[in-house]
Structure 1
Amino acid sequence: MKFTMNNFFDIGYDKLNTRISVSTLGGTHSYVIHFFNNAVKKKNGYFDYRDFSRKIKDLKEFRESSDYDDVEITIDKSQKAKEYATDIRQYIQRNFKR
């Protein structure tokens, strides 16, 4: 996602790191997620934003749960996470390219 911010939005990595460091959103992940949610909403409207942001939220919750909680990661959960990650990547590739 940072690559897309650099190449599609012309935000260099140094500038991006500066923005993240002064942001009140809570770090790199939160800043990048917030940035893309706003970009999707602006470019494609509320319905795309709602779907995109839900997938990002669900994927982030899965990652945090699998990293920090003592939970069993089932095949179904991991396949759903992979599906969300693929959907997010494909959406970004379709909608944010030069």
Structure 2
Amino acid sequence: MSDDIDPALVAVLTQLWRARKETPGRAWSLAKLAKQSDLPMSALRRMLTGLEEAGLVDVRMSEDGTGSAELTVEGVTLCRDIFGDGLLAP
């Protein structure tokens, strides 16, 4: 068993933290998160499902298949512990 953290998970958390810092109070679209984290939509959705189940992310899906995501209070706390309060570079 590996103790390595999945780089895709780190990429998603990094972009969700960046989204919170750059656009407080506004969720980023899944399309933007996929592009910014350099992940295919399927990988992004898998990561978000796990993060949502852990209570770290709030994901909203529309009937047309589009959606958005943002950190929950617990997610903000985790990201602040990991990344600090500084703004991350894109």
Normalising by structure 2, what TM-score? 0.30
More strand by share: 2
Structure with higher Rg: it is: 1
| TM-score relative to the length of structure 1 | 0.28
